[in-house]
Structure 1
Amino acid sequence: MESLHPPLGNRIPWNKGKLTGQKPPLKLSEIWAIRTRLQMSSNVHELAMFNLAIDSKLRACDFTCLHVQDVCHGNQVATRATVLQQKTQRPVQFEITGPTRECVETWIKARRLSPTDFLFPSRLHSSPHLSTRQYSRIVHRWVASIGLDDTAYGTHSMRRTKVSLLYRRTKNLRAVQLLLGHTRLESTVRYLGIEVDDALEMAEQTEI
């Protein structure tokens, strides 16, 4: 009887032809290039997503599950929001900048979303909110639109972008750790891609 499963030697590795490992953050020029394209195309939905993804620094699972009331106080988008992380069950706070607040408010009004609605509803009936897979596809499309190799980037690129820029400017590891909601400094070090010894030395210098 012929086997339904191919021999192990003929199986193609899941990661063949794919770039694996840490996804790089976007550079400042790349942020503006994507943002400008979304503005020129009047894509209110994705412009709100893009700006908030960078500001919030949330994991995809937390970002896609945001409710309107998570970022709004009454009819206005708040300057700061706090979200309970699914992975750690710890709250993390983030600032929502002026341009992002404006984009998100425009999106909420255009879609007529109520406080209890998901901020980014899914277009599929099977899911009440945008899935992490849908979000990933959108991120790849953003990256490809400005001529970058989209296989090198992912949703974690969005999470890492703002903190990477902050770290480059301040070298403050503790601040980055708090913004990402990491429980361990080693996780922050891996995210930033810096040497452990250098990181610990900098952390000691920034302790109060």
Structure 2
Amino acid sequence: MFNLAIDSKLRGCDVVAMKVEDVAASGYTADHATVRQKKTGRPVRFELSEQTGQAVDDYLKAANKKPGEFLFTGRPGPERSMTTRQYARLVSEWIGSVGLDPWLFGTRSLRRTKATLIYRRAGNLRAVQLLLGHTKIESTARYLGIDVDDALAIVEQVDV
């Protein structure tokens, strides 16, 4: 779940709403997936790393998941998705188990992780904007904690 959250760069509400066919329409995890975001209604395409693909394949097999089912189900039953609160609790427990402070990291940290790494390595704010599904470059800069003047200077160097 956490690998998928990092690779997809989706908000928690979108991670828990994913269905099996979103990532494994043919029964095996695809290299790429597209999910429509709840907040914006816009589709976001993302790549799944080999490690994530293997983890999702193993999970699908162990949980006996079928197309049409939610990828991550909650307590009420298999026909309902995990709630964002359940997801947040799991992330908090996982963060604590790896020795980090759960008060400093959470579900948003998972969304931000890969986007920040991509920005640091490529310096391409527009690419990160597209990957996150943001409509405004200023939102992406603010989200990554980049000074708006620095971000705009980078944007001016990129032809769209």
TM range (shorter): over 0.9
Match of 1:19 in 2: none
| Aligned equivalent of 1:183 | 135
**Partner Cα distance (1:184, 1:190) in 2:** 10
The equivalent of 2:152 in structure 1 is: 200
Question: Which residue number corresponds to residue 104 of structure 1?
Answer: 56
CA deviation digits over 1:97-151, x for unaligned, max 9?
A: 1111111011111111111000011133497111100110111111111222111
SS at match of 1:203: helix
2:40 to 78, 88, 102: 88
- Measure the CA separation in 1 of the matches of 2:100 and 2:5: 19
**Structure 1: how far apart are the matches of 2:38 and 2:14?**
7
Taking every aligned residue pair, what percent have the same amino acid on both sides? 54
Superposed, which structure 2 residues align to 1:1-208 within 5 Å? 49-125=1-77, 128-208=80-160
- Write the distance in 2 (CA, Å) between the matches of 1:67 and 1:57: 16
Distance 1:152 1:161, change over 3 A: same
CA distance in 2 between partners of 1:187 and 1:161 (Å): 16
The normalised TM-score by structure 1 is: 0.74
Length-normalised TM-score, structure 2: 0.96
- Structure 1, unmatched stretches of 5+, are 1-48
Instruction: Tell me the distance in 1 between the aligned counterparts of 2:25 and 2:129.
Output: 27
Letter of the 2:146 counterpart: I
Residues 1:127 and 1:109: Cα distance change in structure 2 (over 3 Å): closer
One-letter amino acid matched to 1:159? R
Number of aligned residue pairs: give it.
160
Cα deviation for residue 73 of structure 1 reads: 3.0
Cα distance change, pair 144–127 in 1 and its aligned pair in 2 (3 A):
farther
RMSD of aligned Cα (Å)? 1.3
Q: For 2:52 and 2:79, how far apart are their aligned partners in 1?
A: 25
User: What are the ranges of 5 or more consecutive residues in structure 2 without an aligned counterpart?
Assistant: none
Q: Distance in 2 between matches of 1:162 and 1:66?
A: 19
CA distance in 2, matches of 1:126, 1:63: 16
Letter in 2 for 1:169: R
Whichever residue aligns with residue 151 of structure 2, its letter is: A
Counterpart CA distance in 1 for 2:29 and 2:78 is: 28
AA partner of residue 46 (structure 2): F
Q: Which moved more, 1:167-176 or 1:141-150?
A: 141-150
